[in-house]
Each structure stands twice: as C-alpha cells, then as structure tokens.
Structure 1
C-alpha cells in the first residue's frame, strides 16, 4: 500500500517534469485496484486530460502493465477490450501514459498522465513512477 504523502510527492514530480518541458498535464495515481488515490489538473491543462489520465492509470492498474503495452492485445484480441469496457467501471485504453508500479511481483499502484504527446506523457509519468 502507498501512503498519500508519497503519492503527492510523485504527482508533484510529474508536474515539475511537465513544467520543465513547458507542458500542461493532468496526473492521476491509482491503487492496485484502479481506485483513484490522488489526482490533479496542472495549470493550463484542458479539462478532458483529467479523464484521459484516469483511464490510463486505471487501465495500467487493472491489467498490471503499462497502458501502451495493451495496443498489441487490442489489435489481436479486440473482444478483450470490448468485454473489459462492458465489465469494468471505466473505459480501458491503450493510449501511452499509463504506467504500472510493480513491487515483489504484485501491482502496487499506477500513474496516468495526459495532456502532451504520447512519449512526453510517458516521460512525465516516469518521473512519478520512480518515487512510488
């Protein structure tokens, strides 16, 4: 389990990295079950980035892998995503920027970032993941 102070430091690290890159993003941190622990919309980030970041984090937590890694699965087995989107309380996504945190072989948390280009979202999320 991760504590709120750690989650906030991680989210701050992501927002700091985004600011260094001159970007405005939203950051969501979820627990191992995809339940939001902390979320924020950075200054200047558009409103929809919050929901996209949330979907990225929830997907990474629920599937136990980074959201972008699900692209191949989505192409090969589209029914998995169709079923997941019917069964899960959120829409699964293969957009880059959802990173899973695994410790001792178990999912601990996930972070989602949205508001920049896919590679930038990943870079920003990585700045947080190293602190979780």
Structure 2
C-alpha cells in the first residue's frame, strides 16, 4: 500500500503529539495533508495560540507546493527572498511558511503528503513531525 490512509494520518498526529508531551514541548497544532494538498487529519492541543493550525497547514502546504521540506524553503528564502515571496502568492490561500516544521511524507521516493506542525520552536515542531512520520512507517523529508 503506497497511499496515505486516514489511519496512517491519524497515527502520525497521535505520535507527533505523544512525542511533544515526552519532550515537554509547548502545545502544538498538527496538520496532515495528502499529496494533492487535501486535509487528511489534524489536531490542536489545548493552550495553542489562535492561528497555530493555519501556520501548521501553511508549513505542510509550502512543502507540497515546492516539493521540499520547509527547512529547505527557509534556506531558499535567505538566498532568494524574491523567489520565495513570489511563490508564497502562488501557494494559494493555504499559504507557505518558510521555517522548519513542514515535512514531506515519502514512501519509496514518492510523495504521499506532508505534515505541518506549529506551536514550539520550529526545530522542535520538525522533530515531532519526523517522529510521527517515521512511526507510521514512512520516510520524512525535512529539507535538511
């Protein structure tokens, strides 16, 4: 099976949140999008700030839009600010946030979707996303 199922997406969310609690991270919003950018699963912990879910979704959407993890998008923004600014407009209403925490979900080289997490530092958001993706049996591409 190579598609991202609802069960797999929910497993990614659950493991990401369990990892966050084990690491004592701030409350997180976790969004899982499938390869076409449709919402597959999401959860927002108690205590997150108002727009965390939208930020998480934008991290995942940006990763899908450019085919690279949002860590790489951040590096590209530093090197080519005008390019990333232009792509941000093309990313549509879901947006694009060029910092770590948007991670592609791959299996056998194929992109199945992306996870976006927001709530703690961007590096910690990314750590939780990778934990969820790998626990579900997929490969995580952060853009490192």
User: TM-score, structure 1 length as denominator?
Assistant: 0.90
- Paired with 2:12 and 2:109, the residues of 1 have a C-alpha distance of 21
- Paired with 1:96 and 1:26, the residues of 2 have a C-alpha distance of 14
- Paired with 1:62 and 1:86, the residues of 2 have a C-alpha distance of 11
Structure 2: which 5+ residue stretches go unaligned? 139-144
- Structure 2 residue 66 is the aligned partner of structure 1 residue 43: no
What's the counterpart of residue 121 of structure 1?
A: 125
User: What are the equivalent positions in structure 2 for 1:77-92 lying under 5 Å apart?
Assistant: 77-89=80-92, 90-92=94-96
What's the counterpart of residue 94 of structure 1?
A: 98
- Paired with 1:66 and 1:77, the residues of 2 have a C-alpha distance of 16
User: What are the equivalent positions in structure 2 for 1:55-94 lying under 5 Å apart?
Assistant: 55-89=58-92, 90-94=94-98
Structure 1: which 5+ residue stretches go unaligned? none
What's the counterpart of residue 6 of structure 1?
A: 8
User: TM-score, structure 2 length as denominator?
Assistant: 0.83
What's the counterpart of residue 16 of structure 1?
A: 18
What's the counterpart of residue 29 of structure 2?
A: 26
What's the counterpart of residue 107 of structure 1?
A: 111
Give the superposition deviation at 1:102: 2.0
> What per-residue deviation string (whole Å, max 9, x for no partner) do you get for residues 53-78 of structure 1?
11111111221211011122112222
> What per-residue deviation string (whole Å, max 9, x for no partner) do you get for residues 65-96 of structure 1?
11011122112222222221222213222111
CA contact (8 A) 2:61 2:91 kept: no
